[in-house]
Structure 1
Amino acid sequence: MSSQSRSATIDNIKGVLIFFVVFGHLIEMHIEGDHFLHSIWIFIYSFHMPMFALVSGMFSKAVPDERDTSQLVKNIAVPLIAFELLYECAEFLLKGQFSIYTGLIAPYWMLWYLLSLFSWRLLLPVFARLQFPILIAIVLAMLATYSEHIGYTLSLSRTLNFFPFFLLGWSMRADAFNRLPKKLVWLSGVVVALALIASFLLKSNFDYRWLYGSYSLHRLGAANLTGSMFQALQYLVSASVGLAFLHLLSQRDLGLANVGKRSMYVFLWHGLALLILEKTGAVTEIFSMEDLPMTIISFGVSLLIVWAASREITETLTQKLILRPFSWLLSKPFGGEPGPKAIPANKPAAVTKTAAAD
């Protein structure tokens, strides 16, 4: 399979996953007491963030070079800082106060993912040297959930809880789903269908906080062996449903490659769109409808946000007006200042001037 085909497959997957991020965040505002929305939300959250972590891991290097570290700052740290400031300013303008996340010393809402991704990239070279990195990461995450001091602060809980999926993605090849036998597609379909049915069979009082990955077992009232067993089961379910879902997505071109390529811009801007919709009362109007029109309209609104945020003009303006200025302010240009280079042992001293000038 060509690298171009592999890239298109992953971009299509990212396109679907980023839509689920937007749709999930939209309906999340009104899942309390609504069994229909509650069920859809549980199905989405059972796998979509774990799989985003997995896809991110697929394109991460265990031994980063200077270019990789430069891209780490430019493509993750810079958007995190720039949009952290933008969202806190938006909160103040729209609501008259800064968000609750400032008091928690945590990234704003969905921006936790960027801080976690930054941390995963830094942790990867260490865990790549371990004999059983995924197993060790799972054990560390499960032990950490017993601590009441690890939660939203600096996104520590989610960093640990979703790190095993990032490592799983790193251990896989980008064409992993296409290398599976075609006859297994039906099995993936059955797994996804059963997960969807199970989401609707769960009682409305199911504590959905389990799916956030940001609460300790004490906060969930399950700081015991049963709670740990449930957490282990959650890892198994998220991996099984998520991988099955990605396997189904990889079977055909969904025409979402361009959305997937610009999924970062959808991720960065969709929160502002939802804040504005909430402030204008549009969200309340949508979720006061019956289930069918409510679902259709919220689905359409999510599609519109994804479409607008994944346009080339959005990428251009975001880069020009926000990311490049912050990148100039925060990061050193790739390569840094030119300096003297060491003379290879097998080269004569006569090459010194040339080597330093390169």
Structure 2
Amino acid sequence: MFHAPNAMQRAAPTPATGESEPRPAASTAVREAPAPVAERPAPGAPAKKRDAFFDNAKYLAIVLVAVAHSWVPVMDGSRAARALYMVVYTFHMPAFILISGYFSRSFDLSPAKVKRLVTGVAVPYVVFETAYALFRRYANDQPDVGVSLLEPWYLTWFLVALFIWRLTTPLWRNLRQPLAVSLVIAVLASLAPGISHDLDLPRVLQFLPFFVLGLQLKPEHFELVRRRGARLLAVPLFAAAVVFAYWAAPRMQLGWFLRNSSAPDMGAPWWSGAVMTLGLFGCATLLTAGFLALVPRRHMWFTVLGAGTICGYLLHGFLVKGAAYSGLFDDHAWLVGPAGLVIVTVAASTAVTLLCTPPVRRALRCVTEPDMNWAFRRDAARI
């Protein structure tokens, strides 16, 4: 980290989610027309203009995801690094999920939308879950590792979650109080130690409120964070968050931020699950608003990379885990320290930036944006 105006028209799908974004009327301040992922313009058709703000936000969020993942091997013993990790983990995935929800507002169970969901989410999940399983088996010498599509590993949980969330979008759009219902579900998931971990269900349920919140947002809500006052407030907000995280770093389990376990599973009192779920939701929403307030509105050098965030997200895990499997951090103990933290941050930022570039996106289009008209009936192929 608040239903679409009736005057909205249809636009192309956003690359982060593969779903259509309703376009506001010409008089609306926030103009949404992200370029497609699973859909390419017809020959001779004019290219649809993208909103630089959302492309910038998606790119910066993915950079934070990659950086936070790269900090894990080098932050042991550093209270400051742990505090920064906690701050980033509070909002980086909530922000990305909220944007995914916002761009899923027009999802229904029409043949075209279902096809796009399968080709843009389900197919990449199958491909990359298989690739990561083979990577673990051979790069980390784990011969017992097999391919199980019921047990998402590392990064791929987000694709499972997005598939489930989007399928349930019509339900959330018809409830009177969808956000309240999703928060109750998240709280219950944080209390239940026996919940199945198939499809990483605890994390799917505990992150659900951010997706539902995104579904409730309208363009004018994003106008609020574009104001100068919001930008000025974002700086002290993050400063206060860092100070609080520094105090809390030795006192709080990082599992709360991963949201993949219940309170009893972490050895905490059952009631603390409700407190932490609601508290972290409030903190994540505030920090997401602060993050969006600081995102540039104009076209930047990295704006074009917003179209390739799914590639950066899915590929950077090979680099992070590959470095760990190779013993890089064990052989270079000096990386565990302030200098190492800076070097790893720069390396992760550079790597994920390169992975979001148009050449990489084109190379991976066969698995992240497959056409697959051959697999669907003709009415589903007409997108």
Q: Compute the TM-score of the two structures, normalised by the length of structure 1.
A: 0.85
Tell me whether 1:8 sits opposite 2:37 in the alignment.
Answer: no
Check 1:103–1:73 CA distance in 2 against 1; reply closer, same or farther (3 A cut): closer
Check 1:323–1:250 CA distance in 2 against 1; reply closer, same or farther (3 A cut): closer
1:297 alignment partner in structure 2: 343
**Which of 39, 55, 58 is the aligned partner of 2:83?**
39
Pairing 1:1-358 to 2, within 5 Å after superposition: 1=29, 2-3=31-32, 7-60=51-104, 61-97=106-142, 105-150=150-195, 152-174=197-219, 176-180=221-225, 181-251=227-297, 253-284=299-330, 288-289=334-335, 291-320=337-366, 322-323=367-368, 328=372, 331-332=375-376, 335-336=379-380
Residue by residue over 1:92-131, the C-alpha shift from the partner in whole angstroms, topping out at 9 and shown as x without a partner, is 1112226879689421211000000000001111121110
Q: 2 CA distance for matches of 1:79 and 1:130?
A: 30
Task: Say if 1:70 and 1:334, in contact at 8 Å, map to a contact too.
Answer: no
Residue by residue over 1:254-310, the C-alpha shift from the partner in whole angstroms, topping out at 9 and shown as x without a partner, is 432122110000011111122222233334456633633212211221122112211
Q: 1 CA distance for matches of 2:242 and 2:381?
A: 55
Residue by residue over 1:232-254, the C-alpha shift from the partner in whole angstroms, topping out at 9 and shown as x without a partner, is 11111111111121122145554
Check 1:330–1:260 CA distance in 2 against 1; reply closer, same or farther (3 A cut): same
Check 1:314–1:175 CA distance in 2 against 1; reply closer, same or farther (3 A cut): farther
Other structure's SS at 2:265 match: coil
Other structure's SS at 1:193 match: helix
Check 1:185–1:336 CA distance in 2 against 1; reply closer, same or farther (3 A cut): closer
In structure 1, the gaps of 5 or more residues are 339-358
Task: Say if 1:9 and 1:250, in contact at 8 Å, map to a contact too.
Answer: yes
Q: 2 CA distance for matches of 1:45 and 1:292?
A: 19
Amino acid at match of 1:281: G
- With 32-41 and 231-240 compared, the bigger mean Cα shift is at 32-41
Q: 2 CA distance for matches of 1:288 and 1:330?
A: 53
Q: 2 CA distance for matches of 1:10 and 1:285?
A: 40
Q: Compute the TM-score of the two structures, normalised by the length of structure 2.
A: 0.79
Check 1:145–1:334 CA distance in 2 against 1; reply closer, same or farther (3 A cut): farther
Q: 2 CA distance for matches of 1:141 and 1:94?
A: 36
Aligned-residue RMSD, C-alpha: 2.7
Q: 1 CA distance for matches of 2:87 and 2:144?
A: 28
Task: Say if 2:187 and 2:277, in contact at 8 Å, map to a contact too.
Answer: yes
Is the helix fraction higher in 1 or 2? Answer: 1
Task: Say if 1:67 and 1:334, in contact at 8 Å, map to a contact too.
Answer: no
Task: Say if 2:112 and 2:380, in contact at 8 Å, map to a contact too.
Answer: no
**Higher Cα Rg: structure 1 or 2?**
1
- With 46-55 and 285-294 compared, the bigger mean Cα shift is at 285-294
Structure 1 residue 49, shift from structure 2 partner: 0.8
Task: Say if 1:178 and 1:251, in contact at 8 Å, map to a contact too.
Answer: no
Other structure's SS at 2:260 match: coil
Amino acid at match of 1:3: E
Task: Say if 1:15 and 1:256, in contact at 8 Å, map to a contact too.
Answer: yes
Other structure's SS at 2:51 match: helix
Q: 2 CA distance for matches of 1:319 and 1:263?
A: 13
Q: 2 CA distance for matches of 1:192 and 1:99?
A: 44
Amino acid at match of 1:13: A
Structure 1 residue 71, shift from structure 2 partner: 0.8
Q: 2 CA distance for matches of 1:67 and 1:164?
A: 26
Q: 2 CA distance for matches of 1:230 and 1:244?
A: 20
Residue by residue over 1:9-34, the C-alpha shift from the partner in whole angstroms, topping out at 9 and shown as x without a partner, is 01100111000111111112343433
Q: 2 CA distance for matches of 1:33 and 1:185?
A: 33
In structure 2, the gaps of 5 or more residues are 1-28, 34-48
Identity of aligned residues (%): 23
Count of residue correspondences: 336
Amino acid at match of 2:56: N
Other structure's SS at 1:47 match: helix
Task: Say if 2:133 and 2:146, in contact at 8 Å, map to a contact too.
Answer: no
